[in-house]
Chain A
Amino acid sequence: MTREGVLQLLHDVEGVVGTFIADGQGELLAQLCPPEISEPALRRTALRLARIMRCADLCELDVRRCDLRFDRYQLLVWRFAGGVLGVLARAPVKKRALGMAARLVVREIQPVLFAAASEAEDEVTSQYPSTRRSRDNVS
């Protein structure tokens, strides 16, 4: 399943307007948002969210979630190993349903992200066979 396909799972929850995934540094990896939210705006949002989380980490928070409320909208962010999942939803937000859907998406997306990461790594290691050999020996 593609990243966008996984994100589509969240759009079955009532009130969800847009979703995106970014890595731990705030780089946008995938998104499924309405056209009025441009990709550059979403990239900036992902970077700023990463900054908010790092800022909270400095306050010894060990961040797992980050929720922002703007009037009738909420931006709900889940942090997982390797990135963050962001969901823009319109109130009233069904938090329990959304929480469960987010958990499912995080579970589905992690293999997709890790597969992409290992593919990228393979492209590098194939150029350096000795490195690849030593890695295979370890495993």
Chain B
Amino acid sequence: MTNQAPRPAPARPASSIHYNGAGSEWGEVGELIRRFCADRGRHGFRLGGRELNGHLFIDHGRVIHAEYGEDFGLNAILKLLRAGPMRLESWRGAWPRQASIQLPPERLLDKVAPIGSLLDTRVVRKVLLPTEHTEPAEPARRSAPPAARQRARPAADVSSARAAHGPPTTMVRLTMRGRVLTARGKDARRVAEAAALIHALAQLIAADLGRRGTPAVHVRGREKSLLVLRSEVNDIAAACGSTRRLASLIGRAGL
């Protein structure tokens, strides 16, 4: 069941994340976790990265759920912590029906300590919002510690890895009423429309067959797949792209 209880607005932190709970600011997810777990409050965030978006939910000093791109739970946290500065917005939508992470923040942050020495700096810079079609904010990268710089792969490597898996996955999120929340990738509008219809039809099929539960749909083509399911925050999530790329997500959806 979705928890729709009213939530207190995020407390204004005294750290380098100048987050006021209303607009959007940029900061590191590690610092966000430290900051908002400390006040033992209830905070939901939408996180916008250069490539992927995510959500982070903190309750009583613990991160209870995270989503990032096609990942959720601990995998999402690990990727969020490595993702660099992200745009932070207060999440006012539905909360996850159940927690996917049970670790306290210190354990979570320990998990990335060997690879994320940048978390030890406890310094998070506020960066400017990047404009459309521009390269990532260079100053933040330049001042990153050596370990973080080593992790950055050359652009050629990244593009060849992407080419091996085919074009990027189109991902959309819709409210139950069909309003598009986020969308990225080729033909995102068409995928959003298809997802809305497929989700509605799947619900009718479930009702006709007398089966309860939220339907998840995987339509598989020769090389591409379309996945439509309800996300942990109770909206409709759809992904359309290479079946190989979507394999882990399909497996987690139990399809």
Contact = CB atoms under 8 A, between A and B. Distances in A.
A45 B219 contact: no
Nearest to A50: B201
B205 A60 contact: no
Interface string B70-87: 000000000000000000
Contact of B209 (A56, A73, A91): A73
Given A45-B208, A58-B190, A70-B209, A63 B219 contact: yes
Interface of B: 187, 190-191, 194, 197-198, 201-202, 204-206, 208-222, 224-226, 240, 253-255
Nearest to B201: A48
Given A66-B219, A70-B206, A71-B213, A55 B194 contact: yes
A69 interface: yes
Contact of B191 (A36, A59, A67, A72): A59
30 contacts: A36-B210, A37-B209, A41-B210, A52-B197, A52-B202, A53-B219, A55-B194, A55-B198, A56-B194, A56-B198, A60-B221, A61-B224, A61-B225, A63-B219, A64-B220, A64-B221, A65-B218, A65-B220, A66-B217, A66-B219, A66-B220, A67-B255, A68-B202, A68-B205, A68-B206, A68-B215, A68-B218, A69-B216, A71-B211, A73-B209
B247 to A, nearest CB: 13
Given A59-B240, A64-B221, 8 more contacts: A41-B209, A53-B219, A66-B220, A67-B218, A69-B217, A69-B254, A71-B212, A88-B209
A74 B221 CA distance: 18
A88 B206 CA distance: 11
Interface in A71-88: 71-75, 88
A9 to B, nearest CB: 21
A56 B190 contact: no
A62 interface: yes
Given A52-B201, A52-B202, A55-B197, A68 B208 contact: no
Interface string A17-52: 000000000000000000011000110110011011
User: Sorted from nearest, which 6 A-B pairs have the closest CB atoms?
Assistant: A71-B213, A61-B221, A70-B211, A56-B219, A65-B220, A41-B208
Given A41-B208, A52-B198, A67 B213 contact: no
Contacts of B219: 52-53, 56, 61, 63, 65-66
Contact of A69 (B197, B210, B240, B255): B255
Nearest to B170: A59
Contacts of B198: 52, 55-56
A82 B161 CA distance: 39
B220 A59 contact: no
Contacts of A88: 209
A48 B205 contact: yes
Contact of B220 (A48, A63, A70): A63
A37 B208 CA distance: 8
A124 B220 CA distance: 37
Interface centre among B187, B205, B215, B240 (most CB of A within 10 A): B205
Contacts of A53: 219
Nearest to B198: A52
Interface string A77-119: 0000000000010010000000000000000000000000000
